[in-house]
Amino acid sequence: MNNILVLGAGMVGSAIVKDLAKDNNVSVIDINEENLNKFSDLNSITTIKGDVSDNETIKNNCENPDLVINAVPGFMGFSTLQKIIECGKDVVDISFFDEDPFKLDEAAKKKNITAVVDCGVAPGLSNIILGYHNSQMKISSFECMVGGLPFKREWPYQYKAPFSPIDVIEEYTRPARIIENGKVVTKPALSDLELVNIDSAGTLESFNTDGLRTLIKTMNIPDMKEKTLRYPGHTEYMKVLRESGFFNKEKTDVNGIKISPLELTTELLFPMWKLEPDEKEFTVLKMIIKGGKNGEEIKIVYSMFDEYDSKSGISSMARTTGYTCTAVARLLIGKKFNRKGICPPEFIGETKDCLNFVTEELKKRGIIYNIS
């Protein structure tokens, strides 16, 4: 059996740990003891309480693993990935950090390792699919819409965070890069709001977020955009909070006390955004790829609807993100993907066998997408 180390045991990290432990020796590090207690009845999992922001914690635990999974929050993702690479370990990363991962490409190649980044549902699975079609046809446009939402809509936000809430707020503040007529165009997050009808989910609103990420560098496609999906009305509340300064990181003086508005906002919002135990939620993904092949115009639409698994108690966002990650982890362990350096998921999709492997792994876990 292979040895795998998972850094982070949050909602998605814990799903990754449990899935990989079915056929691997898995160790998991988290600073939160409550997160580690989820595995107390599973003897096949070794839990380690530790701070992964500390260099020594990673160094001391990176000797034995054949593969490392980076499942920490986005704000610490890049530095953590850098430490893993320095240890010379293959890694699959789902932290979705803000920095350019290709800054670590040379270091990864020097260590002769494979570092797959942005390996979730979107970016992640969407990139794998796009990478395959880009190798088969001349693509003229790509649009990806994705969202994770609770079934129960509650005023005022009609939203619960199925992954790190601080990363959700980052989506609402980070400028969105899209491709128009072959050029990178930067727009404010939450812009270009429009209503869309999504099968099984009804009418949702979509808005620009910075989800293209590595595709901006790796794909020569004239028009590309990624949009996030929410229930109608949510976006306006987020714009009001952002424009009023509630998402500002810089500290401000309030009666002699220095406080970051973002810190206060997260303290107030996160309890409202927390999913209740066994609360049902869903993930929806829609991708539209247009282009041509052999002189014929082609339009391909991918759609996926996945929901909370009451049997396992694993959320849909944890399933769709986590199981894409574990599928790719098994690709690496099985030596089915050997490219070295920083490897965004679209590199994986260039090989049909790799796409099929990931698709089959997801199918086994009840995650199925439709193609029309």
Residue-wise pLDDT for 75-102, tens only, equals 899 999 999 999 999 999 999 999 999 9
Structure-token match 């499942």, residue found: 71
- pLDDT computed for residue 41 by the predictor: 78
What is the average per-residue pLDDT within 245-271?
93
Q: What is the dihedral of CA 91, 96, 100, 101, to 10 degrees?
A: 10
Q: Of 213, 21, 258, nearest to 118 (Cα)?
A: 213
Please choose, from the candidates 67, 61, 60, 64, the residue with its C-alpha nearest in 3D space to the C-alpha of residue 23: 67
Are 208 and 190 in contact, with CB atoms under 8 Å apart?
A: yes
* SS3 label, residue 69: strand
Local structure of residue 199 (DSSP, 8 states): T
| Tokens, residue 90 | 């293959």
**Mean pLDDT value across residues 198-221:** 95
* Region 21-40 average pLDDT: 93
Please say whether the beta carbons of 70 and 80 come within 8 A: yes
Residues 59-78, mean pLDDT to the nearest whole number: 94
Distance, CA of 327 to CA of 81 (rounded, Å): 19
Q: How far apart, in whole angstroms, are the C-alpha atoms of residue 220 and residue 223?
A: 9
Confidence of residue 44 (pLDDT cuts 50, 70, 90): confident
Residue 313 has pLDDT above 80, yes or no: yes
The pLDDT value given to residue 163: 66
Considering the four listed CATH numbers 3.20.20.120, 3.40.50.11030, 3.40.50.720, 3.40.50.2000, the one that applies to the domain covering 2-120+316-371 is 3.40.50.720
pLDDT higher than threshold 80 for residue 285: yes
Cα distances from 257 to residues 48, 247, 251, 265, in angstroms, run 37, 18, 9, 16
Backbone angles phi, psi at 77, to 5 degrees: -65, -45
Q: How many residues does the chain have?
A: 372
For range 13-35, the mean pLDDT: 95
**C-beta separation of 308 from 316 below 8 A:** yes
| Region label for 278, one of left (φ > 0), alpha (ψ between -120 and 50) or beta (otherwise) | left
CA distance 203 to 207: 13
**Region 348-367 average pLDDT:** 97
Q: Is the pLDDT of residue 65 over 80?
A: yes
pLDDT reading at 245 higher than 90: yes
Q: Find out whether 193 and 235 touch, Cβ atoms under 8 Å.
A: yes
Band of pLDDT at residue 199, cut at 50, 70 and 90? confident
The answer to whether 320 and 308 have CB atoms below 8 angstroms apart is: no
Question: What pLDDT score does 166 carry?
Answer: 80
CATH number assigned to the domain covering 125-307: 3.30.360.10
* DSSP H or E segment with residue 124: none
Q: What token pair was written down for 75?
A: 């704000």
Taking CA atoms, 206 is separated from 147, 242, 271, in Å, by 9, 18, 25
Task: Say what the alpha-carbon torsion angle 353, 358, 364, 370 is, to the nearest 10 degrees.
Answer: -90
In single-letter form, the type of residue at position 181 comes to N
Angle, to 10 degrees, between the axis of helix 352-364 and the axis of helix 125-136?
A: 150
Euclidean distance between CA atoms 296 and 241, whole angstroms: 47
How confident is the prediction for the chain on average, in pLDDT?
A: 95
pLDDT class for 42, splitting at 50, 70, 90?
A: confident
Please report which helix (H) or strand (E) contains residue 221, including its range: none
Which residue type, as a one-letter code, is found at position 362? L
For the chain, give every domain's residue range.
2-120+316-371, 125-307
Cis, peptide link before residue 101, omega less than 30° from 0: no
158-194 pLDDT, tens per residue?
A: 999 866 678 889 899 999 999 999 999 999 999 999 9
Query: What is the distance between the alpha carbons of residues 248 and 255, in angstroms, rounded to a whole number?
Result: 18
Is the confidence at residue 9, as pLDDT, over 90?
A: yes
